[in-house]
Amino acid sequence: MSPADWLELLRLHLTLSPLAIGGAMTLAPELHRALVVQHAWLSEAQFQACLTLAQATPGPNVLYIALAGWTVGLQATPGPLLQQALLAVLGLTIALVGVLLPSSLLACAAGHWLRQHPQHRGVRAFRQGMAPVVVGVMLSAAWLLARSLDLCADPSQPVPAAIAVVSTLAVWRTRMNLLWLIGAGGLIGAFGAFGAFGAFGGLGGLGGL
């Protein structure tokens, strides 16, 4: 990648940042167009892997953009390992700072202004008026994630849906540490409960023949 390419990478992220209303995931189509289709800095599979890995690991979803920048840098120029690692860090930094800086300055400025005018009628109407929308978004996020994980797709595999229901009750009714829940979910998954129940369902199908 030439210096002009690095500048273009920075410009791309800086201009996308103020458009990210609704969070980092809303930028995925536009980033895909620029990184994969327009510049071919990433392959289709690499971009998908960035999205999937960032979803699967802990932390805010915006990190898929950091990982995409890292991958762009990593394969920017063939060379010794150290040089590639440094370029990967450069790509990651450009992507993450670029996508966060404009929106963060705006958030700090807005927060500051609102603190200065806490009694303003419009400010209070806005803060209290948005509360139902926030609740709706959170419930929708649960539903959409359940749908993307296909939790209820197969009635012969009740374990994933049961994990979700038990976690819901545990979060709602108890104060237990979430890490225990996440660990338990991971263990049940890894020990093949999903697969075992899949096989069980399959055997049931055979019994019907």
Partner 1 sequence: MTAPATGPHPRNARELFWAFSHLAMQGFGGVLGVVQRELVERRGWMSNEEFLEEWGLAQVLPGPNVCNLALMYGWRQHGPRGALAALAGLLALPLLTLLLVASVFRLGADQPQAVAALRGMGAVTVGILAGAGIKLLLALRSHRLGPLAAMTLAGLATLGITWLDLPLPAIVAGVGGLSCAWVYRCLRPGERAAG
Binders of partner 1 among residues 128 to 157 (CB under 8 A) are: 128-146, 149, 151
Cα 191 from Cα 205, distance rounded (Å):
23
Cα 122 from Cα 135, distance rounded (Å):
21
Cα 193 from Cα 178, distance rounded (Å):
21
- Residues of this chain, 63-92, that bind partner 1 according to CB under 8 A: 63, 66-67, 70-71, 92
Q: How far is the CB of 209 from partner 1 (least distance, A)?
A: 27
Dihedrals phi, psi of 118, to nearest 5 degrees: -65, -25
Q: Which of 1, 10, 28, 188 binds partner 1 (CB under 8 A)?
A: 188
Which residues, at least 6 apart from 19, have a Cβ–Cβ distance to it below 8 Å?
A: 26, 27, 30
Q: Is residue 71 a contact partner of residue 91, using CB atoms and an 8 Å limit?
A: yes
Q: Which of 5, 18, 79, 86 binds partner 1 (CB under 8 A)?
A: 18
Q: How far is the CB of 207 from partner 1 (least distance, A)?
A: 25
Based on the shown chain and the rule CB under 8 A, indicate whether residue 58 belongs to the binding site for partner 1. Answer: yes
- Residues of this chain, 166-185, that bind partner 1 according to CB under 8 A: 166-172, 175, 178-179, 181-182, 184-185
